[in-house]
Structure 1
Amino acid sequence: MEIRVVTAADAEAVSRLRRETYAYSVMSPAATRHMITVQGPGERFLALVAEDGGEIVGWGSAGLNVWTSEPGWSSLSIYVHPEHRGHGIGGALAERLHSHLGEIGATRVRAFATPAGVGFATGRGYEPVREMHYSGVDPRVLPDQPATPDGIRIATLDTLEPRQLFLADTIASLDEPGDSPMDSVDYDHWVAEVWQSPGSDRSLGVAAMAGDEVASFAAIERDGDRAWSGMTGTLPQYRGQGLAKLVKSVALRRCAAAGIVGAFTSNDDSNAPMLAINHWLGYRRIETQTGLLRNL
C-alpha cells in the first residue's frame, strides 16, 4: 500500500471510490478533477490517495478554511473503501494530514464521520459537536408545486450573472449552521471554486427573483442520473414566503425532466426549516454523520 499526493489523472478513480464508499455522495469525475486542481492559495490544501495494487482505495485531504474571518480553522476528510478497512490506511492518512495541518498553522480542525468511523475519530482526539443528516428522493415523485408569490419570478441559474448568485449565496450562508462563520468569502475564489465548477448544472438550479435580486435559490450538482443539492438559501428579508420550498420543488422537477432518478442532500440537525422542507418534498434519511472538532 502506497500513500501519495493525488493528481488530476486520479479524478475518475477518486469519484468512483467516493460513490462506492458513500452511495449518497454525488461528485462527478469532472467535478472531482476541479476539486483536486482548484483551490485558493491560502487554503494550503493537501490531498492524498492510498493505492493498493494500482487501485485507489483511500482518500485524505486537509486545508485551512479561508471563508471564515476566524483564523486557524481547518477541515479534514478521510474515507477508505469498505473492503480495505482495518489495515491501517485511515490511520496512515490521518498522521500525514495532521502533520500537514500543524505545519500550516491550523489550530482547530473539523471532520465528519459515519457511525462506523466515530470511534476512529474520537480515538484521535476529536469531540462530537453536531449531526449531519443525509437523505435522498426520487425527483419523479413529488408533491404539487407551490404557487409562486406575487412579485416573484422563477429563473434558472444559467440566466444570472455570477455576482447576483454570489451575493445571495454569501448572505444566506451567514446563518448557516456551522462551527465557524462563513463571513469572509472572496468573490474571485468563489467564482473559480463554485460558479465554474463543472459539476454545477446551472440549467437545473433555480432562483426566485424579486426584480434583479435573487431572493432565494437552489443550486444543483449533477453526476449522470444523480443530483446533489449543494445549497438552498433565502435572503433574510424574503423569508417566511415559502420561497425555499418553491425553488427546490422547481429544481427537482427540472432534474426529473433531465433524466435524474436520485437526488441527494445533507442538512445539519439544527436546521429545522430545511429539514421540514425536505421531508415535505419526500426526502428520506439515508445516514447520519457526526461532526467532530479537534484542537491542534
Structure 2
Amino acid sequence: MRIRRATPDDAEAVSRLRREIYSYSVVSPAAARHLITVHAPGERFLALVAEDGDQLVGWGSAGLNVWTSAAGQSGLSISVRPSHRRQGIASALAEQLHEHLRAIGASRVRSFATPDGLLFGTELGYVPSRELHYSGVDPRVLPEQPVTPEGIRIVTLDRLEPRQVYLADTTASLDEPGDSPLDAVSYDDWLAEVWESPGSDRSLSIAAMAGDVVASFAAIERDGDRAWSGMTGTVPQYRGQGLAKLVKSVALRRCAEAGITGAFTSNDDANRPMLAINDWLGYRRIETQTSLLLNL
C-alpha cells in the first residue's frame, strides 16, 4: 500500500470509490476531476489517494475554509474502501493531512464521520458537534406540485446570469446551520467551484424569480440516472411563501423527465424547515453522519 498525491487521472477511480462507500454519493468522473483540480489558491488544498497494487482504495483531502470569516477553519475528509479498513490506511492519511493543515496555519478542523467511522474520529481527538442526515427519493413518485404564487415565475438556471444565482446563494446561505458561517464566499471562487462544476446540471436546476431577482432556487448535480440537490435556498425577504418547496418539487419533476430514478440530498439536523419539505416530498433517510471538530 502506498499514499501519494491525487492527480486528475484518478478521477474515475475516485468516483467509483465514493459511490461504493456512500450509496447516496453523486460524483461523476468529471465532477471528481473538478474536485481534484479546481480550488481557490487560499484553500491550500491537498488531495491524497491510497493504492493497494493498482487499485485505488482510499481518499483523503484537506484545506483551509476560505468561505468563512472565521480565521483558521479547515476541513478534512477520509474515505477507505470497506475491504481495506483496519489496516492503518485511514491513520496514515490522517497523519499526513493533519501535518499539512498545521503547516498552512489551520487552527480547527472539521470532518464528518459515518457511524462506522465515528470511533476512529474520536480516537484521533475529534469531538462530535452536529448531525447531518442523508436521504433519497424516487423523483418519479412525488406529491402534487404546489401552486406558483402570484408575481413569481419559474425558470431553469441555464437561463440566468451566474451573478444572479450567486447573490441568492450567498444570501440564503448566511443562516445555514453549520460549524462555521458561510459569510465570505467570493464570486470568483463560487463561479469556479460551483457554477462551472461539470457535475452541475443547470437545465434541471430551478429558480423562482421575483422580477429579475432570484427569490428561491434548487441546484441539481447529475451523474447518469442519479441526482444530488446541492443547495435549496430562499432569500430571507421571500420566505414564508412556500418557494423552496415549489422549486425543489419542480426540479425533481425535471429530473424524472430526464431519466433520473434516484435523487439524494443532505440536511443539518437543525434545518427543520428543509427537513419538513423533504419529508413532504417523500425523501427517506439513508444515513446520518456526525460533524467532528478538532483543535490543532
Normalized against structure 2, the TM-score is what? 1.00
| Structural mapping, 1:78-93, within 5 Å | 78-93=78-93
Alignment of 1:116-195 (within 5 A): 116-195=116-195
- 1:224-282 superposed Cα distances (whole Å, 9 cap, x missing partner): 00000000000000000000000000000000000000000000000000000000000
CA distance in 1, matches of 2:28, 2:233: 23
Corresponding position: 1:278 with 2:278: yes
Q: Aligned equivalents of 1:37 and 1:14: distance in 2?
A: 13
Does residue 110 (structure 1) correspond to residue 127 (structure 2)? The answer is: no
* Structure 2 residue matching 1:285: 3-state secondary structure: strand
Residue of structure 2 in register with 1:75 after alignment: 75
* Secondary structure at 2:260 match in 1: coil
Supply the distance in 2 between the matched residues of 1:75 and 1:45 (Cα, whole angstroms).
Answer: 10
Report the Cα distance in structure 2 between the residues aligned to 1:124 and 1:194, rounded to whole angstroms: 32
**Which residue identity does 2:277 align to in structure 1?**
I
Q: Deviations over 1:46-91 (max 9, x none)?
A: 0000000110000000000001111100000001011111101000
Q: What SS class does the counterpart of residue 170 from structure 1 fall into?
A: helix
Q: Deviations over 1:146-194 (max 9, x none)?
A: 0000000000000000000000000000000011111111101110111
SS of residue in 2 equivalent to 1:231: strand
CA RMSD of aligned residues (A): 0.4
Give the Å deviation of 1:119.
Answer: 0.4
Which secondary structure does the structure 1 equivalent of 2:179 belong to? coil
Letter in 1 for 2:149: P
Counterpart residue identity of residue 176, structure 2: E
1:32 and 2:28 aligned: no
Structure 2 distance, partners of 1:84, 1:205, is 37
SS in structure 2 at match of 1:109: strand
Look up the SS of the partner of 1:215 in the other structure: strand
The secondary structure found in structure 2 opposite 1:163 is helix
What secondary structure does 2:246 align onto? helix
Letter in 2 for 1:242: G
Distance, in Å, in 1 between the alignment partners of 2:292 and 2:177 is 14
Alpha-carbon separation, structure 2, partners of 1:173 and 1:16 = 30
- Where 2:125 maps in the other structure, the secondary structure is coil
SS at match of 1:232: strand
Counterpart CA distance in 2 for 1:83 and 1:245 is 40
Query: Which whole-Å CA distance do the structure 1 matches of 2:218 and 2:53 have between them?
Result: 41
Is 1:7 the counterpart of 2:13? The answer is: no
Task: Describe the SS at the equivalent of 2:66.
Answer: coil
Once the two structures are superposed, the pairs formed by residues 23-62 of structure 1 within 5 Å of their partners are 23-62=23-62
For structure 2, the 5+ residue unaligned runs are none
Q: TM-score, normalised by structure 1?
A: 1.00
Q: How many pairs are equivalent?
A: 296
SS of equivalent residue, structure 1 residue 241 = coil
Report what 2:211 is aligned to: 211
Map of 1:288 onto structure 2: 288
Aligned match of 1:252 = 252
Unmatched 5+ stretches in structure 1: none
Equivalents in 2 of 1:117, 1:195: separation in Å? 32
Separation in structure 1 between the aligned mates of residue 226 and residue 180 of structure 2, nearest angstrom: 30
Offset at residue 196 of structure 1 (A): 0.4
1:70-116 CA deviation, whole Å, 9 max, x = no partner? 11000000010111111010000000000000000000000000001
In the TM superposition, residue 2 of structure 1 has moved relative to its aligned partner by 0.5
| Aligned residue type for 2:27 | M
